[in-house]
Structure 1
Amino acid sequence: MSHPLKKPRAVFPIEDYVEDDSEDEEMQDECIGQTLNVDFEGFTASDNDFHGIKRLLQQSFRGLEVDVSGIADTIISQNYVGSVIKQVGGEDEDDDEEMDEEDDDQLFGVTTIINLTSRKDEKCIAGFRTTLVEKCSEYANDSTSQQLRELLGNESKHVGLLISERVVNLPPQFALPVFESLLKELEEAKTKKMPYEFAYLILICKVFKHEKKKKKKNKTVETEIWSNPEEEVIAEESLASFDYIVKGDKAVSDDWDEDDPQYTPFRRVLLLDANRLPEILSKVKQAIYQS
């Protein structure tokens, strides 16, 4: 049975690689303590979304040597499956076209699935497969490493890369409608004989860890924070997983005091049974509404 999601922190740990922008910082300071009501809507990915998709993918693929631009192009090319999330409302309709042209990277999320089997010969996908296997060989146990190699090498059972990325601090409720929409799109694509019949799915999650030693018991207690809290529920249903550290980056808790614990960013790679995805998302929904 799924447990309620832990209450999201006010601010999730932010990795050091995020670029600084003094104007953005001033804007954030002005917004502290204010409640902003915004509406989001899913759209079909287009060429104008390239930079926004690439920016979001860089969060997921941190620590992997991959062609992020190539994968962003792949997502746009298969725009019949998946969606990008944008803010709607609050602007005059006359300004919409101008905003699309001038500010094409203002995406709040991207959700889709890429077929790592049927697209294995495409340069960006081949590179992703290679670097993922290498990272798995370095950090996973022998069983998981062998399992991943065998699955990627078995062309009779397709493996999909599930991408679910959004900007920091959007709540888990944000993920539900886009996941549900993705399931419908996958079913429609399969009825049209498109290559979206998956046996397994791979999902890369952002996890932050802090270790604290208890003096009396001489034990080390590890605390984890999930950037996307719903992925903690998904991870409980995974067939296998492994973590790799994002070297050179640190993160701190939301109080931002000098004495706050230091959180180290990791990526956790999950292997999922694709046939159980609807059931897994049902558990996510149950956990969110119990929170």
Structure 2
Amino acid sequence: MSASKRKNLNDMEVDQKDDDSSSSDEDKDGLHPDAYTGNEEVQIDFEGRTPVDPDTEGISQLLQRLFLRAQINCNQMADLIIAQNNVGSVICQVDDDELESETDDDMVEEGTVFGITSVVNLSTKKDQPCVSQLRTYLLERAKSYAPEPVLEQLSNLLDIEDPPHLGFLINERFINIPAQICVPLFDNLKMEIDHAKSKKMKFHFGTLLLLVKFFRKEAKKGKPAEDNYTNAEDELLSEKAKFSFEWSVASECDTGMSGHWLEDDAVMTPYRKLLALDAKQFPQLIKDIQSFINNE
């Protein structure tokens, strides 16, 4: 792997919140926690690099948190992402023998994948079983939860054969990694897509689909419902989407958590939302995310 495929993402401060309401190994989606336990802060250096074969399990686990109990082969999708060695990055801890000992103990497993940013062509890869499963999953959710005009738009996008194609944008990371990290990752992805297109590779997209995670604090005592996005930048992207639809995944979470939890006596319900983004606007969206994160 060339040095250009490694990118230091600056010092990221991981804030380890102590959550008394969480019993053990499960996070709010009923899965393993996205972050460490404890109430201290740990300073860790992260870098983005090209995914490699040993990253398969880590990428698969991140995808499983996104898709929950969907019938999608996440291991196969991870292999497909890795096979695109020209496009995409994983977030990893900087390999530095001089890091403080507290970052090298049991809190962080060696080789942990902290995040994945990539894109998969849903048009040209539709014969791949995992992509076919993803397409079916999205269409079935649209038939159940999307308004008719949105279902029609998504169906038309899934029928695209000729470029520009339909892409599935992946932007997953551990929950306590700050949103600032997505800007260099998206910038790098944009450059890699442009480079791939210059080499006549099939990364010419017209629309990018992005599946995002959020929790809804249900309306109570006259207060409106409030949405809290797992990745802060997804709030902005939701506003910029050409169309979107959402659904609760409470029933898809582990029964121990039932998909609901309480915050200030209000019920928080896990949701997924599918966004359709104009691929031509991706460079501007990156700039908008930077301004959004900086509260500009």
TM-score by length of 1: 0.82
- 3-state DSSP of counterpart to 2:127: coil
Amino acid at match of 1:260: D
Could you tell me which residue of structure 2 aligns to residue 36 of structure 1?
Answer: 42
Alignment partners' CA distance in 1, 2:93 and 2:241:
32
Distance in 2 of aligned mates of 1:38 and 1:10 = 16
Give the 5 Å matches for 1:64-75.
Answer: 64-75=70-81
Secondary structure at 2:225 match in 1: strand
Of 15, 28, 33, the residue aligned with 1:15 is 28
1:50 equivalenced with 2:60 (yes/no): no
Deviation, structure 1 residue 179: 0.6
- Hey, what does 2:141 align to over in structure 1? 135
Partner of 2:177: 170
Tell me the CA shift for residue 64 of structure 1.
2.7
Equivalent residue number for residue 261 of structure 2 = 251
Structure 1 gap ranges (5+): 1-7, 94-98, 254-258
Aligned to 2:193: 186
Q: Structure 2: how far apart are the matches of 1:104 and 1:175? A: 22
User: Which segments of 5 or more consecutive residues in structure 2 lack a partner in the other structure?
Assistant: 1-14, 100-104, 252-257
Shift of the alpha carbon at 1:53?
0.4
Aligned length: 262
Once the two structures are TM-superposed, the CA of residue 9 in structure 1 deviates from its matched residue by 11
Cα deviation code 1:8-40 (max 9, x no counterpart) = 9968994242248xxx9xx723xx1x3322110
Query: What is the rounded CA distance, in whole Å, between the counterparts of 2:261 and 2:244 in structure 1?
Result: 23
1:239 match: 242
Q: Identify the structure with the greater helix proportion.
A: 1
Task: Tell me if the contact between 1:114 and 1:161 (Cα under 8 Å) persists in the aligned partners.
Answer: yes
Task: Give, in whole Å, the separation in 1 of the partners of 2:113 and 2:180.
Answer: 17
Cα contact 2:90–2:116 (8 A) shared by 1:
yes
Kindly report which structure 2 residues correspond to 1:1-291, keeping only aligned pairs within 5 A, or say none: 14-19=27-32, 28-29=37-38, 32=39, 34-91=40-97, 106-156=112-162, 157-214=164-221, 219=222, 221-246=224-249, 247=251, 248-253=258-263, 260-290=265-295
Distance (Å, rounded) in 2 between the aligned partners of 1:60 and 1:91: 33
Q: Specify the code of the residue in structure 1 equivalent to 2:215.
A: F
Counterpart amino acid of 1:45?
A: P
Instruction: Give CA-to-partner distance per residue, 1:201-229, whole Å, 9 cap, x none.
Output: 00000010011233xxxx56101100001
Which amino acid in structure 1 is aligned with residue 198 of structure 2?
T
Q: Cα offset for 1:159?
A: 0.3
Distance in 2 between residues matched to 1:108 and 1:132, nearest whole Å: 25
Paired residue secondary structure (1:50) = helix
> What is the DSSP-based 3-state SS (H/G/I as helix, E as strand, rest coil) of the residue aligned with 2:93?
strand
Q: Which amino acid aligns with 1:127?
A: Q
- Using the aligned pairs only, state the percent identity: 35
Q: Please state how far the C-alpha of 1:90 moved relative to its aligned partner.
A: 4.7
Contact kept? 1:207, 1:267, Cα under 8 Å: yes
Please state how far the C-alpha of 1:234 moved relative to its aligned partner.
Answer: 0.9
**TM-score, normalised by the number of residues in structure 2:** 0.81
CA contact (8 A) 1:210 1:264 kept: yes
